[in-house]
Structure 1
Amino acid sequence: MKHSDKQGRTLRILTYNVHRWLGTDRQISPNRITDVIASCNPDIVALQEVRVGRVRPGEIDQAASVASALGMDLHFQPTIRILGEQYGIAVLARHSSRIVRCGRLPTQSTRQSFEKRSALWVEVEVEGQTIQVINAHLSLRSGERRTQAAALIGPEWIGHPDCTGPAVLLGDFNAPPYSRSYRMIAHRMQDAQLSNSFGEPQPTFHTRAPVLRLDHVFVTKSIEVVDAGPVRNALTRVASDHFPLLAELRVRKKPAVAVGSKAKEGVLF
C-alpha cells in the first residue's frame, strides 16, 4: 500500500472473513490467520466467521488465542451457537476500546434462522481521537440483505447520535457494488476502495479465483482514505477463502475557527 507523507497519524484497519480458520487447503489454522493479521500491522481488525470452539481442559479459546498473540483486545459477538461451539464476528483493537452496541440485524424469514446476522459497534481511542467502528456480516439473501443494510445506516447504528464522529462501517456484506444493498450504504458513506492505489477497486473473494468484491470498508466524511485494497500474497491465498481488506485512514483535522466567528467547528457526514 502507498504511504502518505502528509502530517498526521494514519490508522490501519483490516476486515477479514477468516472462514472459521479454515484455509483453502482444508487445514484449520488460527495461527496462520494470526500471521496474516500480524503482517498487516493493523490498529483495528474486524473479523467475520470467527470460530471460538469448545473450551475444555487442555483446549484453548481460538479467538482469544489469536487476539493474545497479536497483543490486541478482543470483542466478540456470537451469531451461531451449536453443540457447545460459537461462531460469530469480532473486533480486535490495539488501543483502548469498549463495546457500544452489539445486536442482531433484521431478518425477513419467519423460520428459525441457523445464523443470526449481527453487527458489533466498538469505540476505539487512538491517541486522543475517538473512532466508531461497526463490524457486520450480512445475509446471502438479497432482500434480507437490503433490510440489514438499511438498518446499519439507520438510527440504531451509523445514524445514531453517538456515531456522529469519525466512523467506519466494514465487514463482509455479501454485496457486490452493483447490488442495491451496497448502493444504499455507498450513498451515505465513502467506499474506501474507490481511493486505492491499484487504479480501481479489487475483488476480495474467492482467493482461488478473485472475481467478487464482497468485503468493504466504508467511512464517514470526517475520514480521509490514504489507501485501501486487498492483501494478496502466498499466505493470504491459502489462509481463508476471502482476502483480507486493509485500509489506511486518517481522521481529518477540524478546521480552525476565526476569532469572533460563529461558525461551528468540525466536519460531520
Structure 2
Amino acid sequence: MDDGRFEGRAAITGGAAASSEPHILLIDDVPEDIRATIILLKQQPWRVSLASDALQGYQRALALRPDLIVLDVHMPHMNGFSLCRLLREAPATRQTPILFLSSANSSMERLEGLTVGGVDYIPKSCAPEEVLARIKIHLQLTWRAPPAMPQSPADPEPEGDEIVLRAAMRLIENQLDDMPSLASLAQKVGTHEKRLTAIFREHLGMTVFAYIRDARLRRGQDLLCESAMSVQDVAELVGFRNACNFTTAFRQRIGMTPSQFRQHALGLVETESAGRA
C-alpha cells in the first residue's frame, strides 16, 4: 500500500462535501516553525491539511474548501497577503475565515493582513495554546455541522458488520493521505484485522488494501477534473508517495495516465459546452 506524506489528519473529501467535523488548511512554507501548533491541532476532532507554498495553498483551498485557513505571510513567489486577496475573490473561499499566523508582526503588516480580508492576525511567537484558542473562537462563530441526511424509510437500518464496514469506509475516505495501519484502522472501528478483512471480502469482494487503492484513484480522478493541481500534488493528497507510483497505478486501473485523463475530461467538457451553444 502507498503511504501518503504527513499532513495532519488531512481528509480528502469531494470539494465541499459535508462532514461532521471542521476542516482546517494550514499554509506555511516552513511548517517546522509551527510544528507545535500542528501537533496541538492534530489532537482536536478536526481534519487538518497542510500546503507548503502559496500556489499550492491556493489550489488546495479551492479543491478542498476548508472551513478555516491559517496563513503565513512571508512565502516565496507569492506572499500571504496576495494569496488572501485571491481567496477572497474566489467563490469557493470567499466566506472562509482566514487567520494569519506569521513572524511578520509590524503594525503595518498586521493592519494589511486585516485589511485584505484576514479575520485575525497571530504572531508566531504566541503560544500554540493561544493559537488553538483563537481558532476555536472563529470556528464557533462560523462553522456549523451539516444536518444529518434523513434515511429513506424503505432503506433497512445497517447493523452488525455493515455498520463496521460503513465506519471503516468513511474513515478511509477521510484519511486517504494519512492512512493508519490495518491494525489501527480495525481498532478505530472497534474490531481486529482478521474480522475487518473478512467483512470487506464478504461485502465488497475485495481486501481493505484494494479498497483503499480504489478510493485513492477515485479521489484522484475527481481532483484531476475539479482542480488545476499538479499530478504530483494530487498524488500526495490521495496518499501516494510520489507521482510515479500514482501514474503507474492510475494507468493500470484507468487505462491512461493522469495527464491524459485530465486532457480527455477537459475535452469532453468543452465538447458538451460547444454542443449546448
TM-score with structure 1 setting the length? 0.30
The structure richer in strand per residue is: 1
- Which of these two proteins has the greater Rg computed from alpha carbons? 2
TM-score with structure 2 setting the length? 0.30
